Structure 1
Amino acid sequence: MDYPLLNLFLTMLWFFLWTAWLILVFRMISDIFRSHDLSGWAKTGWLLCVLVLPFIGVFVYLIVRGRTMGERDMREVEARDAAFRAHVREASRGSANGGAGELAQLAELRRTGELTDQEYQRAKTKFLAS
């Protein structure tokens, strides 16, 4: 008997499993190259294990270094986030020298008492006129 629907289902299942396997292998390879705690020889050894003996190599890598994969990913995400936040802070400081940032600086100087009300009004009028 021929079951075309079952064959279609099995074909889709194998295709999904093959795609998932390839994603896992590429994830392992990228983790090997991003690891700063591995020497060049260790990276070469893990890479050979994953490529030459794919099933055994991937499973052994997951057992030995699987827990630290997530930790490395979290550190990388935190580093990217910190770099992004630093960039935003620098960009906002640069734009604070003009526009609303300068008015905010004048208001802060007046609030702390470094500028009198007359000086604040003159600086504000001068700024708004330009």
Structure 2
Amino acid sequence: MNFTETLWSIFVVFVFLSYLVVLYQIVADLFRDHELSGGAKAVWFIGLVFLPVLVGVIYLVARGRSMALRQMARAQASAAETEDYVRQVAAPQSRTERIADAKRLLDDGAITPEEFERLKAEALS
């Protein structure tokens, strides 16, 4: 195999993998779209099975903008959920909770009474 054939093979594999990624994105968007009826989803899917390249291009032209908007909305919702989780986990404890945690550590023997008093003073300050 010469250099030109190798480059051509690499290009063909790249185009084919790109096509598969686009096809996956179309099918995923198709089934995630709550505004599209089941019959319309079936028609799009059957079209993708029998004429995948043509129907894929038509789908991207006809629904590409809304596809991008749905993807952005999912990303924003995911980011908001992550921020809420981080706020919930990293939220500062109240004074009472910090003293109760320190008391639990003292009762378990993990800290000394002096350390408990220091933690209690920090919580109250």
TM-score higher than 0.5: yes
Q: Which residue of 2 aligns with 1:71?
A: 69
Identical-pair percentage: 25
From 117, 120, 127, the equivalent of 2:120 is 127
In the alignment, the residues of structure 2 paired with residue 11 and residue 92 of structure 1 have an alpha-carbon distance, to the nearest angstrom, of 52
Q: Match for 1:19: what amino acid?
A: L
What are the equivalent positions in structure 2 for 1:70-89 lying under 5 Å apart? 70-89=68-87
Who is 1:26 aligned against?
24
Mapped to 1, the partners of 2:119 and 2:28 lie a distance apart of: 57
Counterpart Cα distance in 2 of 1:45 and 1:66? 17
Q: Which runs of 4+ in 1 moved over 4 A?
A: none
Q: Give SS of 2:34's match.
A: coil
Deviation digits for residues 64-117 of structure 1 (CA, Å, limit 9, x no counterpart): 101111100110011111111111222233x52344xxxxxxxxxxxxxxxxxx
Q: CA RMSD in A?
A: 2.5
Give the residue type in structure 2 aligned to 1:96. Q
For normalisation by structure 2, the TM-score amounts to 0.73
Cα deviation, residue 50, structure 1: 1.4
Question: How far 1:39 sits from its partner (Å)?
Answer: 1.2
Deviations 1:14-71 (A, max 9, x none): 1111111111101111110111111111111111111221011101101110111110
Per chain length, whose mean CA-contact separation is higher, i.e. which structure has more relative contact order (CA < 8 Å, sep 6+)? 2
Query: What is the TM-score normalised by the length of structure 1?
Result: 0.70
| 2:48 corresponds to 1:50 | yes
Query: How many residues end up aligned between the 2 structures?
Result: 104
* DSSP 3-state at the match of 2:35: coil
2:93 to 77, 93, 96: 96
